[in-house]
Structure 1
Amino acid sequence: MSVRSRSLWFLTFIGVLVLFPWLGATHLSDEDEGYFGSAALEMWTRGDWIVPMFNGEMFGHKPPFMYWMMMLGFEAFGANEFSARVFSAVFGLAAALVTYLLGERLFNSRTGLIAGLVMLTSVFANIVARAATPDSFLTFFSTAAIYCFVRQYFTQQAAALAESAPGRPAIASPVRISFPTAVAMAFLMGLGTLVKGPVGIILPMAVIGLFLLWMTPQIELPVGANRWSRWRHSLRRFGPSNFLATLWRMRPITTLAVTICVAGPWYLAVSRATDGRFLQEFFGVHHLHRFASPMDSHHGSLLYYVMTILIGMFPWSIFAMPIGLRIAARLRTRVAAPQLVLLLCWAGVYIVAFSLAATKLPNYVLPAYPALALLVGVAINDWLTREAAISLNWLRAAFSIPVAVGGVLLIAALVVSVCGQQGEYLLGRYQVDVAVQSRLLYVAVLGLPLLAGGFLAFWLLDNVGRGAALKSVGVLSVVNCLVLWGVVAPGLDGLQTPQLLVEHGRKCCHSEDAVLAQFGCFRPSMVFYWRQPIRMLASTQAVAEFLHREPHGFIVTTTAGMAKFSPEISSEVAVLDQRSQFPKKGEIVMLRRTDPVTEHVALPKRSLARHPY
């Protein structure tokens, strides 16, 4: 078996280990999973593969590819959480495998192997790959499109290097993307536009275009040229004439034509089906408006993504400082390798583009994670190969981070969950339910592998060698994922009270005439678990009208909402279930009518078969 085959099989084994177990062990979380899972379920029950719907209304947030994958999951495994997430995990694994192939092509097999492992086990990439969201799909298609370009460019570069005479440049003329490569890239980017819209094609093309501009062959200046002359000469490659020439070499007409052939039919169909309303909401609200102004309070500074990436790539981000210094040293030499330039262009385009946008979310820059993972892989491979590449002090500083994080998690969770005054929990003074506080002990469990892994790395560094210590980080990352999904996530799932409340209500009523409404308490995932649209009640008068018109009516509200009810309304309802409204104060309740019409309602589990919207 070849080195490539062994590496791919190893990454597949790790991917299956950290992505698929307990995939359906937790309820869909709000907001994103609740919206997207519910929309996919509604499309599936309606048999509609064109128009995304949520709670009975058009849902213009995202194109359909993610919903299609969930619908296939529902067809194969039924309407449940596993089905909504399984293809996200499949594409997350596929993105890691493509990252390996990129690392092998650009550097060597071990670099690709490390980068693939980073993609599977870094905290945020692992979480997203296990979530019913579109980001794993977009990351795969963007990475695969760049891989197609890399195959041609660096193959051509290697051929030019082999044919060039000593002392001559490896590539004597600018590279033109071949027609087959352009078609393959456009096909993948077209699928990307069916995942998240224009970013599926604009940003991968921007990465490749910026790289080609940077790599434009330059005439060597005289040795005595001053710094200003060198800067002016370097910036000429980004001038208008070279920009247009580079754009033409990227075959924009072919790319646009193939992309339209792939994605155009759906965009045309959804436009016709909704009289253009879907495209107006999708492009006008969820692209232009999100870029120009923050939506849903999702905002941040220009350093927002620097901080979220450091957290999201944990535990591998413990090496961020030495890797950053290593890259800066390479750039100062002005002879950075094309491979490094590509990775910097790749990460830079995504981070800068979304840093300029007003609306910010951590998942926006997930397509940059393969480039960042490859930078980690390059550095660790270098440290494993050459001991002088990193000092022991840097490694000790890095290994102290998981120890510190694990200690903080352990101590904070124990203090919050156990300590208090006069036998009460510490959070009791903030009216947080005792059951909620006790579940925070599961956070303490997450600190244990970090503490153990950090101390193990220290011991290996001093007693075995830096190679064993570095490899232990990979073991720590895998164990951390298993503890997170096997212990912590199921333990904390009880805090998702709206999901549990509505699911219990559905089980308590098998009547097809049952209707659920909400008053002052709505979470998107409630639609998924109720299996039908939920009425929105804006006032107590609307509550009274609902109770009179719906003999099989149920209402979800909060204790604060119940306090607004008139005595007449309060006499008509009884509490079916009541749970803590984590993380807010108070409780969320499900009410039902108390008249004889609903007193005989049985309690069998409601079928998961399709129900018409």
Structure 2
Amino acid sequence: MTSLTLADRSSVARLSHAVGLDRLFAFIETGHRRACAVLLLVSLACFLPGFVSLQPMDRDEPRFAQASKQMLETGDFVDIRFQDEARHKKPIGIYWLQSATVAAAEGLGVPEARATIAVYRLPSLVGALATVLLTYWAALAFAGRRVAFVSALLMATSVILMAEARLAKTDAVLAACSVGAMGGLARAYLQRELARLPAGTALGFWIAISLGILVKGPMIVMFAGFAAVVLSVRERSARWLLALRPGFGLLLTLALVAPWFVAILAKSGGAFFKASVGQDLVGKVGTAQVQHWAPPGTYLLVFFGTFWPGAILAAIAVPFAWINRREDAVAFTIAWVVPSWIVFEAVPTKLPHYVMPLYPAIAVLTAIAIARGFVGPHRPLARISTLLLPGIPLAAAIGLAVAAWTLDGTLPVAGTAVTLAAALVGLFAWRAFLRGEVWRTALVGAGASVLFVTGVLGLTQPVLRSLKLSPRLAEVSRGLDCPAPAIATVGYREPSLVFLTRTDLDMLDTGEDAAAFLGDGPCRLVFVERRFEDAFQAAAAGLPVRPALVTRVAGFNINGGRRLDIGAYMVRP
């Protein structure tokens, strides 16, 4: 009798869970506006923690931001420069977006907008939000609102998009352009019985292509081009592409893209194309750049971290893609992902964000597989592998606590507690999966992601002072009793220090150079890393005025992977 009662209670509980879930989805699926509003709220909860407090992340982010700042300082919105060095790696798009955002912030009275990295991050935040909403829109070409909502939710809560939303770089904006273009391409293919798509869909496709080219060159053409070729081979015809009005679209793209490329060609004398194509692009294909080499298969491995919490559900859905590869919707997602993924795995230079524009297709395919009942505890190894849901935040909580204690001698109590709470919620998601409640698993996993990013970036990151060398050095320079000091550095050459101090920051090579810099005039400040200090002191002994040690700043340089001890020296007027 007791066992029967327990069984009855279990059945009632499961029925209650199912009814509650159905009511939640019914609320969300009432209309597109409601679904998009919920997605925006979840996205902001994922993207905003740490958005302001996170220091400029060396090295790419401050290089982008500094180049945009220099456009405002010089009034030159064609050439791209970091200090005196030409930065001819990426096209102009992100620099225009960042400089326009900063100019608008200044117009609204935001104090020190040009030295505030959060202002430069706003285009990335908007790009990440657009990526989520456009994933929802793109998924509607494949299935109904529930699938579209969960697809977008998987993107919003993914680790990689949460990271790129708060970095002033190209990748979040490129992801938005890419999913916008692929959503249009999907409609052209899946509705190919129509002679023409709505004008707005075709126009949106070509605008997305144009903006993607201005942001990151040929990448978006590769994504759309590979998919179009594969699907045309599948159909033995490319006529379905005519629905996108390619004649008009190519002319529009040329009109939007060509003016800046012509201007930079005239200004740089071809140096931009030599550097961006001949060095940056070809260099990534031929050799691993800036120590970012990794073997083929790396993206598959890191996917389980970068697409958490949806990654393990996506992995379980892989056989579904193969089994149903003849279906048009599944074939499109395969054509979207596989050819470009193979290229990225083959190229020696690898960074996790390179494959992010392919993740919306994976999210859509995963949601479709869930909707058809393919993903569940009955799949091989699914019960064990889904322990990643609580496992990743648990590992992060332990790792960050150890790092904080090792580097700063402190424990981030609040951040650790919230990250552990994310692990607990992840455990609930895992239990829901074991019961076969996969939709619930996706929703609860999203909740775990919100707690995870809040704990890691919102609460733990701000207290890791050892990782904030550049902000602390910039604070020293602003606290001097000497107005607008000339500043130099030796032994610590991170771009974030340039962005946070001044464009004409001198990057010196030796301790003797540092002493000579101080001897060139009054009101000067130099940062000297410990390795160069003996040579600096020996050379400074011969100066008419002995340099004064203002303070020391010790910390850990993430890029170099080592501790640094930097002395700040000054000659007062």
Aligned-pair distance for 1:256? 4.0
Indicate how the Cα distance of structure 1 residues 88 and 266 shifts in structure 2: closer, same or farther if over 3 A, else same: same
**1:191 aligned to 211, 226, 245, which one?**
211
The residue number in structure 2 matching 1:41 is 69
Indicate how the Cα distance of structure 1 residues 176 and 300 shifts in structure 2: closer, same or farther if over 3 A, else same: farther
Structure 1 stretch displaced more, 257-266 or 584-593: 584-593
Deviations for 1:256-304, whole angstroms, at most 9, x for unmatched residues? Answer: 4332211111111122222332232122211112221111011111101
> What is the DSSP-based 3-state SS (H/G/I as helix, E as strand, rest coil) of the residue aligned with 2:535?
coil
Equivalent AA in structure 1 for residue 353 of structure 2: N
Aligned-pair distance for 1:466? 5.2
Correspondence 1:12-27 to 2 at 5 A = 12-27=40-55
> What is the DSSP-based 3-state SS (H/G/I as helix, E as strand, rest coil) of the residue aligned with 2:456?
helix
**1:370 aligned to 360, 363, 381, which one?**
360
Aligned-pair distance for 1:124? 0.9
Is contact 1:575–1:589 with CA below 8 Å preserved after alignment? Answer: no
Correspondence 1:140-159 to 2 at 5 A = 140-157=176-193
Say if 2:448 is the partner of 1:476: yes
Say if 2:229 is the partner of 1:209: yes
The residue number in structure 1 matching 2:395 is 408
Equivalent AA in structure 2 for residue 274 of structure 1: S
**1:97 aligned to 127, 133, 136, which one?**
133
The residue number in structure 2 matching 1:519 is 490
Indicate how the Cα distance of structure 1 residues 542 and 415 shifts in structure 2: closer, same or farther if over 3 A, else same: closer
Is contact 2:377–2:435 with CA below 8 Å preserved after alignment? Answer: no
Aligned-pair distance for 1:311? 1.3
**2:533 aligned to 562, 582, 600, which one?**
562
Is contact 1:106–1:339 with CA below 8 Å preserved after alignment? Answer: yes
Is contact 2:188–2:243 with CA below 8 Å preserved after alignment? Answer: no
Aligned-pair distance for 1:483? 2.5
The residue number in structure 2 matching 1:290 is 284
Indicate how the Cα distance of structure 1 residues 524 and 406 shifts in structure 2: closer, same or farther if over 3 A, else same: same
Is contact 1:405–1:447 with CA below 8 Å preserved after alignment? Answer: no
Indicate how the Cα distance of structure 1 residues 12 and 447 shifts in structure 2: closer, same or farther if over 3 A, else same: closer
Is contact 1:186–1:258 with CA below 8 Å preserved after alignment? Answer: yes
- How many residues in Structure 1 have an aligned counterpart in Structure 2? 531
> What is the DSSP-based 3-state SS (H/G/I as helix, E as strand, rest coil) of the residue aligned with 1:521?
coil
Is contact 1:556–1:588 with CA below 8 Å preserved after alignment? Answer: no
Deviations for 1:444-470, whole angstroms, at most 9, x for unmatched residues? Answer: 446403421133235546789555444
Is contact 1:501–1:578 with CA below 8 Å preserved after alignment? Answer: no
Alpha-carbon distance in structure 1 between the residues aligned to 2:218 and 2:224: 10
**TM-score between the two structures when normalised by the length of structure 2:** 0.84
> What is the DSSP-based 3-state SS (H/G/I as helix, E as strand, rest coil) of the residue aligned with 1:564?
helix
Indicate how the Cα distance of structure 1 residues 535 and 153 shifts in structure 2: closer, same or farther if over 3 A, else same: same
Is contact 1:37–1:525 with CA below 8 Å preserved after alignment? Answer: no
Equivalent AA in structure 2 for residue 199 of structure 1: M
Correspondence 1:568-587 to 2 at 5 A = 568-569=539-540, 572-583=546-557, 584-587=561-564
Is contact 1:190–1:263 with CA below 8 Å preserved after alignment? Answer: yes
The residue number in structure 2 matching 1:607 is none
**1:130 aligned to 166, 173, 183, which one?**
166
Deviations for 1:559-613, whole angstroms, at most 9, x for unmatched residues? Answer: 111133252315732332322240444434243333x51xxxxxxxxxxxxxxxx
Alpha-carbon distance in structure 1 between the residues aligned to 2:531 and 2:219: 42
CA-based RMSD of the aligned residues comes to: 3.0
Indicate how the Cα distance of structure 1 residues 213 and 280 shifts in structure 2: closer, same or farther if over 3 A, else same: same
Indicate how the Cα distance of structure 1 residues 492 and 328 shifts in structure 2: closer, same or farther if over 3 A, else same: farther
Equivalent AA in structure 2 for residue 580 of structure 1: A
Say if 2:357 is the partner of 1:357: no
> What is the DSSP-based 3-state SS (H/G/I as helix, E as strand, rest coil) of the residue aligned with 2:528?
strand
Say if 2:524 is the partner of 1:553: yes
Is contact 2:295–2:348 with CA below 8 Å preserved after alignment? Answer: no
Alpha-carbon distance in structure 2 between the residues aligned to 1:459 and 1:294: 42
What 5-or-longer segments of structure 1 have no aligned partner? Answer: 160-174, 217-241, 419-426, 428-432, 598-613
Equivalent AA in structure 2 for residue 64 of structure 1: I
Alpha-carbon distance in structure 2 between the residues aligned to 1:143 and 1:465: 29
**TM-score between the two structures when normalised by the length of structure 1:** 0.79
Aligned-pair distance for 1:81? 2.0
Is contact 1:33–1:132 with CA below 8 Å preserved after alignment? Answer: yes
> What is the DSSP-based 3-state SS (H/G/I as helix, E as strand, rest coil) of the residue aligned with 1:149?
helix
Correspondence 1:190-589 to 2 at 5 A = 190-216=210-236, 254-331=248-325, 336-383=326-373, 390-391=377-378, 396-414=383-401, 427=406, 433=407, 435=408, 437-438=409-410, 444-445=416-417, 447-460=419-432, 467-492=439-464, 494-508=466-480, 511-512=483-484, 514-569=485-540, 572-583=546-557, 584-589=561-566
Alpha-carbon distance in structure 2 between the residues aligned to 1:463 and 1:537: 62
Aligned-pair distance for 1:555? 1.6
What 5-or-longer segments of structure 2 have no aligned partner? Answer: 1-28, 106-112
Identity, in percent, stands at 21
Is contact 1:409–1:446 with CA below 8 Å preserved after alignment? Answer: no
Aligned-pair distance for 1:472? 1.6
Is contact 2:528–2:566 with CA below 8 Å preserved after alignment? Answer: yes
Aligned-pair distance for 1:329? 3.0
Aligned-pair distance for 1:442? 7.5
Alpha-carbon distance in structure 2 between the residues aligned to 1:288 and 1:8: 40
Indicate how the Cα distance of structure 1 residues 440 and 297 shifts in structure 2: closer, same or farther if over 3 A, else same: farther
Equivalent AA in structure 2 for residue 577 of structure 1: T
Alpha-carbon distance in structure 2 between the residues aligned to 1:193 and 1:466: 38
Alpha-carbon distance in structure 2 between the residues aligned to 1:441 and 1:276: 54
Equivalent AA in structure 1 for residue 366 of structure 2: V
Is contact 1:515–1:550 with CA below 8 Å preserved after alignment? Answer: no
Deviations for 1:334-392, whole angstroms, at most 9, x for unmatched residues? Answer: xx211111111111132112222221111111111111111222223333xx8x96528
Is contact 2:202–2:244 with CA below 8 Å preserved after alignment? Answer: yes
Alpha-carbon distance in structure 2 between the residues aligned to 1:590 and 1:60: 34
Indicate how the Cα distance of structure 1 residues 194 and 397 shifts in structure 2: closer, same or farther if over 3 A, else same: same
Say if 2:81 is the partner of 1:53: yes
Equivalent AA in structure 2 for residue 575 of structure 1: L
> What is the DSSP-based 3-state SS (H/G/I as helix, E as strand, rest coil) of the residue aligned with 1:208?
helix
Alpha-carbon distance in structure 1 between the residues aligned to 2:533 and 2:282: 39
Aligned-pair distance for 1:67? 1.3
Is contact 2:394–2:423 with CA below 8 Å preserved after alignment? Answer: yes
Q: Which structure has the bigger radius of gyration?
A: 1
Aligned-pair distance for 1:54? 0.8
Alpha-carbon distance in structure 2 between the residues aligned to 1:44 and 1:250: 38
Structure 1 stretch displaced more, 88-97 or 57-66: 57-66
> What is the DSSP-based 3-state SS (H/G/I as helix, E as strand, rest coil) of the residue aligned with 1:13?
helix
Is contact 1:215–1:338 with CA below 8 Å preserved after alignment? Answer: no
Aligned-pair distance for 1:403? 3.0
> What is the DSSP-based 3-state SS (H/G/I as helix, E as strand, rest coil) of the residue aligned with 1:576?
strand
Equivalent AA in structure 2 for residue 35 of structure 1: R
Deviations for 1:528-578, whole angstroms, at most 9, x for unmatched residues? Answer: 111322212223443333222242222223111113325231573233232
Alpha-carbon distance in structure 2 between the residues aligned to 1:54 and 1:201: 28
Say if 2:93 is the partner of 1:65: yes
Aligned-pair distance for 1:131? 1.0
Alpha-carbon distance in structure 1 between the residues aligned to 2:433 and 2:275: 55
Equivalent AA in structure 1 for residue 41 of structure 2: F
Is contact 1:209–1:250 with CA below 8 Å preserved after alignment? Answer: no
The residue number in structure 1 matching 2:147 is 111
